[in-house]
Each structure stands twice: as structure tokens, then as C-alpha cells.
Structure 1
Amino acid sequence: MASLRKWLFAGLLTVLPVAITVWVLQWIIATLDQTLLILPERWQPDRLLGFHLPGLGVLLALGILLVVGAVASNFAGRKLLAWSDRLFGRIPVVRSIYSGVKQVSDTLFSENGNAFRTAVLVQWPRPDVWTIGFVTGAPGGDVVNHLLGDWLSVYVPTTPNPTGGYFVMLRRSECIELRMSVDEALRYVISMGVVVPAKTASTLVK
């Protein structure tokens, strides 16, 4: 029985990551394939080919993103984006949602953004209990008028789902910068400490 249990767990550890990866990829492809519905019926790949070919929606979505990015990068595109920002900013309810999402996306995906660039070790949720957080910047607005000294804005993710977490402001001296990439730190968090990064040396943030 002990051998059977050992083989069962070994099989689960081997099959489960592969199965979940395949399922996630299938879900992403199936979701992006819905973008094909924006094409006229006579241009639908299923109609032209006579059968369904998975993944064409992914190519279409990437093409749309490239075209939109190219347009948004020139002078006319920037003017159009500024006009659309003003338009959405005048619509009640919509403006609060749009502005919040835009600020977060600009922070995360902008080439000049600094979000999630540094992993730090912090004491959370109480002293002598340590966890990994990610520096998102420095406190701003009226907040800085009430904080004395040098502070950092830190996002503390939850485990194993890092999309949920806490935004906290900590003294820079209380944050230990980790010599690991953000990807390594995220894997460490998601795996609940099972996947240990190769390099764990750390230094105080300067």
C-alpha cells in the first residue's frame, strides 16, 4: 500500500502541472478565438476553410494589438487617445472605472513604469513574521505630508493567488531588497515556498 500511495502521488505531481497548463492554454485560445466574431460572416475562417482551426483568434488579437499600438504611437494616434480620455472622463460611473483601470495599466505596462521591478523582504502582518513584497513606488499626494522619513509603497501578494493582496507603506529601512528577479519571487510566492530561487542572498535597500 505504501508503494501504491507513493506511485499515486508521483503520478499526480507529474500529470497535474501538465494538465493544468494544457487547460489554461486551451481556455486562452478558446477565449481569443471569440475575436473572430468581429469579422464579417463571409470572412469567417470557419466558413472559408470549411472547418474550425484553433488559434486563428490569437493571431487576429495579436494583429489588432499591433495595429492599435502602431496607431497610438504616432502623433494622430496620441491626439485620438487624448480625445477618448476626455470623452470617457465626462461619463459618470464610466470615468471612475476607466481612469482606475488606465492608471493601473499605465503603471504596469508602460516602458517607463517601475511597478514590480524589485522584490523585498518585509515584516507582515506583524513583527518577526516575514513575507515577500514588491516595491511599486513611493507614497504621493497628501500622504507624504503625514509620513516623516523615507517610505516605500509595497504590494504584498497573497498565496497562492498573487492577484490579491495588500497595499502598504513601509519605511525604506524596514525593507530588505532581495537579489532575485520578480519572476523568481512570484514563483516563490505562488508555490507557497516550495520552489526556492537559486540565489537568495539579500542586501539592505540603499
Structure 2
Amino acid sequence: MTSSPFEPEPKRPGLFSSLRASFLTGLVVILPVGLTIWLIWKVFGWIDGFVLPLVPANLNPEEYIGINLRGVGVIFLFLFTIIVGWIAKGLIGRSLIRFAESLVERTPVVRSIYSGIKQIAETVFAQSERSFEKACLIEYPRKGIWAVAFISTETKGEVAEKAHAMGRLVSVFVPTTPNPTSGFLLFFPEEDVIELDMTIEDAAKLVISAGLVYPNGEKAKIAVEEQLRKAS
């Protein structure tokens, strides 16, 4: 189908519109990279300022080079953490940790702070086989409204025994947007939980972005562009 010679040609974007579009595209590319580098640089500087004053002068390479090396404190902290972990895994280290924790448990205020920080550290850093199994869909907070959740485990213990359900219960975690580390622990009948093919990482991106980033979004975009190219 050919266009009529009397139809007006589509208006081309002006110079200002092109510059504005290029500027916004540049921001999308530069901001994530720049903010990531800036944040890492600031964190390294904060660690250096805290760790380096504790390092003996004869072990600090800055004393010999005469240049402020950003990240040296991170290396010292990394090596120190490895040594502490290696000692803690031994018999003597475990005995010392149990003794220190028994002292902390007798201190009212310190006990609460220590237990909270320890739980967070074990959840985030501890090497464990326990993790979310799959992403899923559930009807929450009512029928007809769907939410992305993560399957944790099969519900066991007193909760499974006292809950009135026909079959098995599944423990699911419903994250909040844009912070997926907070959310709700819910117990759903197994038949009401719909497993998704997307990975845990893709589901987390979907939650964090408030629905703006879908799995395989780039692949879908390329497929649409290919179809439009063939149609033209």
C-alpha cells in the first residue's frame, strides 16, 4: 500500500528533541555505572579510614610508597577476616566463641544487639544450602489479586499440625517493593501456589523495579523489532 502524495510527511524531530533524547539515553547509561563506582570508592575509603589506623606502620605499604592507596584497608580487612574464620572453625576457636557468647548472654542490652546482628550476618553471609526454591504466583491479599512470591519450604511442625488444610502447606515469602528483604511469611495450600519458570533473580528484579523490568525483556524487545522489520 503506497501513501497518497497529498498526505503530509511525518514531522521529523527537531534538533532540541534529538539532543534531549540523546541526553536522557546517556543518563541511563552513565548513572548506574557512575553511582556504582562512586559508592564502591566511598565504601573503600570508609574502610581504609577505619582499618589503616589499626595496622602497624611497618606493615602499611603507604609508608614506603608515600601515596594514598585506596583499598589497602579492604585487603587487610579481607585477610584478617579469613584468619579469624580459620581460627573460629578450629576446636580452640569454637570454645572461645562459646565462652564469649555466654558472657554476652548475661549482659542485658548487649545481648539484644549482638543476637540481632548475628542473625542478620548468618542470614546474609553464612554458607548454607537453605535458600528459596522457586518463584511463584499466589492470590494475595485476596482472590483475584496476584502477587509474586518465593517458595521457602514445606510447612512443618506445629504450624502444619494446627492449620486447617486439606493437603500440604507451603511456606512462601511475599517481598515488598522496592525492598525485597522485607515482606510477609505466609502459609499456602500447595494447590494454590503456582510455580513460575523465571529464576529467583528475575523475580527479584521484577519486584524491585515495581514491574518495570520483566524477565527476558531485552529478548522480547529484539523479537518485536525483528517482527516489525519483517513487516516493513
| Normalised TM-score (structure 1) | 0.79
Question: How many Å apart are 1:68 and its aligned residue?
Answer: 1.4
1:15 matched to 2:30: yes
1:193 aligns to 2:211 (yes or no):
yes
Does structure 1 residue 39 correspond to structure 2 residue 55?
yes
With over 3 angstroms needed to count, the CA separation of the structure-2 counterparts of 1:95 and 1:136, relative to structure 1, is farther
For residue 93 of structure 1, give the secondary structure of its aligned residue in structure 2: helix
Question: Rg: which structure is higher?
Answer: 2
Find out whether 1:25 has 2:25 as its counterpart.
no
Q: Could you tell me which amino acid in structure 1 is paired with residue 169 of structure 2?
A: W
Describe the superposition over 1:158-206 as per-residue Cα deviations: whole angstroms up to 9, x where unpaired.
223323x22222214233233333222222222333332239xxxxxxx
Rate the CA distance shift 1:171–1:27 in 2: closer, same or farther, 3 A: same
TM-aligned CA deviation for residue 115 of structure 1: 3.2
Where does residue 162 of structure 1 map in the other structure? 180
1:108 Cα deviation (Å)?
Answer: 4.1
1:65 partnered with 2:98: no
CA distance in 2, matches of 1:46, 1:151: 59
Residue in structure 1 matched with residue 119 of structure 2 by the alignment:
103
Q: Report the CA distance between 1:110 and its aligned residue.
A: 3.4
| Farther off after superposition, 50-59 or 132-141 | 132-141
The farther-off stretch of 82-91 and 189-198 is 189-198
Larger deviation, residues 87-96 vs 104-113: 104-113
- Which residue identity lines up with residue 72 of structure 2 in the other structure? L
Q: How many residues align?
A: 198
Whole-Å separation in 2 of the counterparts to 1:37 and 1:130: 53
Aligned equivalents of 2:33 and 2:144: distance in 1? 37
Give, as a single letter, the amino acid of the residue that structure 1 aligns with 2:31.
L
Stretch deviating more after TM superposition (39-48 or 3-12): 39-48
Q: Which moved more, 1:28-37 or 1:9-18?
A: 28-37
Q: CA deviation at 1:135?
A: 3.5
Q: Please state whether the residue corresponding to 1:196 is helix, strand or coil.
A: coil
3-state SS of paired residue (1:121): strand
Per-residue deviation at 1:141?
A: 6.9
Cross-structure match for 2:228: none
CA contact (8 A) 1:117 1:135 kept: yes
Counterpart position of 2:195: 177
Identity %: 36
Contact persistence 1:135–1:155 (CA under 8 A): yes
Per-residue deviation at 1:59? 1.1
Give the secondary structure class of the aligned counterpart of 1:17: helix
Instruction: Find runs of 4+ consecutive structure 1 residues off by over 6 angstroms.
Output: none
Offset, 1:89: 1.5
Partner amino acid, structure 2, of 1:13: V
Question: Quick check: 2:45–2:70 contact (8 Å CA) kept in 1?
Answer: yes
| Distance (Å, rounded) in 2 between the aligned partners of 1:93 and 1:176 | 44
Report SS of the residue matched to 2:108.
coil
Contact 2:137–2:194 (CA under 8 A) maintained in structure 1: yes
Q: After TM superposition, give the deviation of residue 117 of structure 1 in Å.
A: 4.2
What letter corresponds to residue 23 of structure 1 in structure 2? W
The whole-number CA distance in structure 1 between the counterparts of 2:63 and 2:214 is 50
TM-score normalised by L of structure 2: 0.71
